Amino acid sequence: MHRLTSILPLTLLLLLCYTATKGQTCTYTISGELKDRGSNTPLPYATVYIQETQSGTVADSLGQFTIPGVCAGDYHLKFSHIGCDTENYFLQLTADTILVVFMAHHTELLNETIIHGKREDNVTSVSNTIGRRDIVTQSSKSLAGVLENIAGVSVLKNGSGISKPVVHGLYGNRIAILNNGIAQAGQQWGNDHAPEIDPFAADHISVVKGAAALAYGANALGSVVLVEMDNIQSDPHLHGEINYLFQLNGLGSVLNARCEKAAKWASWRMSATLNARGDLKSPHYYLTNTGKREANVSAQLEKKIGEKINTKLYYSLFTTETGILRGSHIGNLTDLENAINRSIPFFTRNSFSYGIEAPRQTVQHHLLKAEVNRLLKEGNTLQFIYGGQLNNRKEFDVRRSGRENIPALSLLQQSHYAEGIYKTIFGTNLLLKSGIQFNYTDNSNNPETGVLPLIPDYRAYSAAWFVILQKEFKKLSYEFGARYSLRQLNAVTISTTLPRKIERFYHLFHNYTLSGAVKYLPAANHKITLDAGYMLRPPEVNELYSAGLHQGVSGIEEGNRNLQEEKSVKILLADDFSVNNKLFVQALTYYQFIRNFIYLQPLQEYRLTIRGAFPLFVYRQTDATLWGADLMVTYKPTDRLKFQLKYAIVRGRNAAQHIPLVNMPADNLFASAMYAFPDVGRSKNNTISFNGRYVWKQTRLLPEQDFLPPPNSYFLLGATAGTQLGFKESELHLTLSAENILNTVYRDYLNRQRYFANEPGIAIELKAGYIF
């Protein structure tokens, strides 16, 4: 009797489960195809797996798959392919469903149209994109360091902890960086002021090289860097990832956590990063006082109101403390002359340290964005965006009498941005995109430094209107755009001569931009783009009014208040094609003429101040020409083997004086080879790769144009090995990488601290990423 009463509940439970199962509809079919996100070609024999049923299938030779007999319900699908990171997809199945899944097989070929899936974003743009997994793999690097893997992008450095991107020879005020759609404010004018952006918060980072940059303002004279986040998936379950990196050189650690969920009240995503390291080491000595601390957080909310309104709210906080090489700050002229090109920098310690002392920088940057998208009749849309930023920067010099904790530069900047955009389609596939933009910036020096400010207090007001027309006709796509902006700059300076007095200056700039582009598709695997643009850029406040020691670059900078607007004409021709889905080629050439080109010229002069002795740099203006080419070739003889080559050249010339321009990147070549091993049990996507970077000596420079001749050419060897362990509802990614394996002694021309020290030596990194 006791045994019967024990079996009866179990029997009833089984009967209930059976009845429930019989009541379900299990005749639905999930089918679709898998494509390479970069080349838009099929991915044959990819694996499709349903977590809840622990079943799946393999796609055919055309990348197509079918899974019949699936019950209605919520499912998590996993898509995997040789050489690709696993793609996860949440599906609420209520009927037969057809999916088109894009996987990052050729990430080097990604472009903005494929990333966003929106025609109006960049029909004819020339761009390159880095995806989420590549960003995570390079998590020890800054934003500029991540972008360096794109052909045509170099890095302007100030030591090992501060860098910013150089695109086709232009950088700083000529590169617009958009953080989640908001132009990055702050003190972006300084070569030692890295963008206050955590790459971990991004899902993809892109460089737009052509005239499609028109909508982003005058700072897009060179190119536009887009740091963007994907929309949050409509998955009601909690998902995320935890990433950790250990860096042997500098004994650094990076920890990032990110999670997201689609709740009923709103969809949300959060990300937080901690980054810390000590002194880096060159092959023969420690780079004293090159430690770094970083703590970042971001939050994103998305809410759909009815069927026609989508809202988004985004906030990020970036905080950092960065040490400046101690040997770059010298007390007298004699020691400064001896320090430049010295084999071992002054003040070099014989031991490692996590300590950060003067000279150093601290930065805190807040960004808040609110966005509302309204769907109107006939597919027209209206978009409103507000962006607010607050930037607090302090720079600390080596100062006597215990005053090293008093900043020598203390700047507080707030900015407010508002934008409205209207999009509509006329007739047969003619798209109109028009918008108005307003921006206000208030920059002030905090009166705690006890020294004259490097740049003055100022307020800047700007208003702009732009229109873009796009048309597709058979194999041709056209784009034409125009932009007009009005900018007022009010500056309050302190005279550099005695007796001191307050001086006020007012500037009003009228700027306009015209652009046009055409894309031709002679075949499905071939694209030719011709792009041309005319743009004006007004001088920034640092170019006009810098006066004093710029601590971060260990130099004295002097502005020129008589500078005029830059006027640029750029023509770009790009040719992308593939052969038999094995050979992929991207070739690009460009020519740019800039009237009144503003540049920072090092003078053959050292200046002694109460804070030490420093080299002198002055802002000058001339007519300039820049031209060059980018080339990327990828060859994949089999699914498991891939070779890649990237080559870039830039030529810059002072057209008025017929001499080279300074700070132009040297020719550089990057080559890599990767092999993917077969899966073994849970271990998938097992890869090993080797890469080499060769940078030529910058020979196009006159001796009197710099304090030292450009450094010699150098070669860097690197390697990476990785695997992916798959579990039922999670993945573990493991990667071991090494850079400068040969421990090469070298200095880079685009690093301002090349005057004082070598670059870091071998760097070994271990990365682990858990995705759930």
At 65-86, the pLDDT tens digits run 999 888 988 888 888 877 676 7
Rounded distance between C-alpha atoms, residue 177 and residue 142, angstroms: 14
Q: Band of the pLDDT at 8, cuts 50, 70, 90? A: very low
Q: pLDDT at position 717, please?
A: 98
Beta strands in 639-771 (DSSP E): 641-654, 659-660, 668-677, 683-695, 714-726, 731-739, 763-771
114 pLDDT tier (thresholds 50, 70, 90): very low
329-363 pLDDT, tens digit per residue, is 776 667 777 888 788 999 999 999 999 999 999 99
Non-local (6+) Cβ contacts of 708 within 8 A are 340, 341, 754, 755
Residues forming a β-bridge with 523: 526
Beta bridge partners of 396: 360
Average pLDDT over residues 668-694: 94
Q: How many residues does the chain have?
A: 772
- Going by C-alpha positions, the residue among 448, 614, 443, 466 that lies closest to residue 544 is 443
Is residue 109 over pLDDT 70? Answer: no
More confident site: 27 or 261: 261
Per-residue pLDDT, 290: 95
Average pLDDT over residues 394-418: 89
Residue 1 pLDDT > 70, yes or no? no
Q: How many helices (H) and strands (E) does the chain have?
A: 6, 41
Which residues are registered as beta bridge partners of 688?
Answer: 675, 721
Ranking 149-163, 327-341, 388-402, 469-483 by mean pLDDT, the lowest is: 327-341
Residue appearing with tokens 């060897």: 717
Helix ranges (DSSP H) in 325-479: 333-339
Q: CA-CA distance, 420 to 195, in Å (whole number)?
A: 25
| pLDDT tens by residue, 691-700 | 999 999 999 9
Q: What is the pLDDT of residue 124?
A: 58
* 564-576 pLDDT tens trace: 999 999 999 999 9
Min mean pLDDT across 227-241, 335-349, 669-683 is at 335-349
Is pLDDT at 247 greater than 90 in this prediction?
yes
pLDDT at 250 (0 to 100): 96
Q: Which helix (H) or strand (E) holds 373?
A: strand 360-375
What pLDDT is stored for residue 552 in this prediction?
57
Window from 104-108, 429-433, 582-586 with minimum mean pLDDT = 104-108
Q: Is the pLDDT of residue 106 over 60?
A: no
Strand partners, 438: 418, 463
Q: Which pLDDT band holds residue 704 (cuts at 50, 70, 90)?
A: confident
Residue 17 has pLDDT above 60, yes or no: no
What is the reported pLDDT for 190?
A: 66
% the chain with pLDDT above 70: 91
Q: Give the number of other CB atoms < 10 A from CB of residue 682.
A: 12
For residue 34, the model assigns a pLDDT of 87
pLDDT of 451 > 90? The answer is no
Burial class of residue 2 in the structure, from the number of CB atoms within 10 Å of its CB (0-12 exposed, 13-18 middle, 19+ buried):
exposed
Q: Which residues of 290-329 are buried (b: 16+ CB within 10 A; e: fewer)?
A: bbbbbbbbbebbbeeeeeeebbbbbebbbbbbbbbbbbbb
| pLDDT score of 734 | 96
User: What local confidence, expressed as pLDDT, does residue 120 receive?
Assistant: 41
Q: What is the pTM of this model?
A: 0.87
Instruction: Give the residue-averaged pLDDT of 448-458.
Output: 87
Buried b (16+ CB within 10 A) or exposed e, 190-221: bbbbbbbbbbbbbebbbbbbbbbbbbbbbbbb
Q: Which residue has the higher pLDDT, 264 or 341?
A: 264
Element of type H or E holding 163 = strand 163-167
The mean pLDDT value for 525-545 works out to 93
- Contacts of 631 by beta carbon, 8 Å cutoff, 6+ apart: 151, 585, 586, 587, 588, 645, 646, 647, 648
pLDDT of amino acid 110? 47
For the cut 60, the answer to whether the pLDDT of residue 257 exceeds it is yes
Q: At which residue do the structure tokens 């055409």 appear?
A: 518
Q: Note whether 292 and 319 are within 8 A (CB).
A: no
Question: Hey, what amino acid is at 351?
Answer: S
pLDDT at 22 over 70: no
- Distance CA(204)–CA(216), nearest Å, equals 18
pLDDT for 3: 45
* Tokens 């899966």, located at residue: 679
On whether the 22-105 domain is CATH 2.60.40.1120, my answer is: yes
Q: Report d(CA 629, CA 212) in Å as an integer.
A: 19
pLDDT tens by residue, 52-69: 888 888 888 788 999 988
The residues, ordered by sequence, that sit 6+ positions from 305 with a Cβ below 8 Å of its Cβ are 311
Phi/psi class of residue 51: alpha, beta or left (left: φ > 0; alpha: ψ in -120 to 50)?
alpha
Which pLDDT band, with edges at 50, 70 and 90, does 122 fall under?
A: very low
Through-space distance between the first and last CA atoms of the chain, rounded to whole angstroms: 47
User: What is the tens place of the pLDDT at every residue in 193-207?
Assistant: 788 999 988 988 888
Q: Quote the CA–CA distance of 179 and 200 in Å, as a whole number.
A: 12
DSSP-assigned beta bridge partners for residue 190: none
Handedness of CA 338, 341, 347, 351 (dihedral sign): negative
Q: Where are the domains of the chain?
A: 22-105, 109-230+239-771
Task: Tell me which of 51-60, 102-111, 717-726 is least confident.
Answer: 102-111
CATH code given to domain 109-230+239-771? 2.40.170.20
The whole-angstrom separation of Cα 178 and Cα 223 is 11
Amino acid at 120: E
> Considering the chain, what percentage of its residues have pLDDT values greater than 90?
54
Using pLDDT thresholds of 50, 70 and 90, give the confidence band for residue 220.
confident
Give the pairing type, strands 381-396 and 409-426: antiparallel
Asked if 47 and 58 touch (Cβ cutoff 8 Å), the reply is yes
Q: Is 117 left (phi over 0), alpha (psi -120 to 50) or beta?
A: left
Run of H or E including 273: strand 267-277
Q: pLDDT band for 659, please (50, 70, 90 cuts).
A: very high
Biggest distance spanned by C-alpha atoms of the chain: 109
CA distances (Å), origin 114, targets 40, 64, 110, 573: 8, 20, 7, 20
The DSSP 8-state label assigned to residue 756 in this structure reads T
Beta pairing partners, 66: 31
d(CA 103, CA 499): 67
Question: And the tokens for 759?
Answer: 């670059």
| pLDDT for residue 12 is more than 70 | no
- pLDDT tens column, 273-287: 999 999 999 999 999
Instruction: For the chain, give the mean pLDDT.
Output: 87
Mean pLDDT (whole number) for 413-440: 92
8 Å CB contact between 192 and 552: yes
Which pLDDT belongs to residue 498? 81
Q: Among 8-17, 27-36, 604-613, which stretch is predicted with the lowest mean pLDDT?
A: 8-17
> What DSSP element (H or E) covers 18?
helix 2-23
8 A C-beta contact, residue 176 and residue 216: yes
Please determine, for residue 306, whether its predicted confidence score (pLDDT) is greater than 60: yes
Distance CA(227)–CA(269), nearest Å, equals 16
